[in-house]
Amino acid sequence: MKARHSSDFGYSSEFVNRKKQQKIVRCAKYFLVRKKLENIDVRFDVIGIENDSVDWIENAFLEEL
């Protein structure tokens, strides 16, 4: 989830760039290995909040785990 008070510099969901996606994927891989869940399907959603508006992007990015 990413929240911003103003969209002057863009929407919060736009700030989940490739570098952040890679970090999320690395953390997810680590978690799944530690919990012995390597053969589970995962999905990465991004939720952006702008004031009172919620932007939910399902399957925001794909990564093979």
Give me the pLDDT at residue 24, please: 94
Q: Which amino acid is at 27?
A: C
Pairing of strands 53-61, 44-50: antiparallel
Question: Which of 59, 55, 63 has the alpha carbon at shortest distance from 23?
Answer: 63
Structure pTM?
0.73
Two tokens, residue 33: 């290995």
Q: Containing H/E element for 58?
A: strand 53-61
Q: Is the pLDDT assigned to residue 20 strictly greater than 70? A: yes
Q: Which one has a higher pLDDT value, 41 or 10?
A: 41
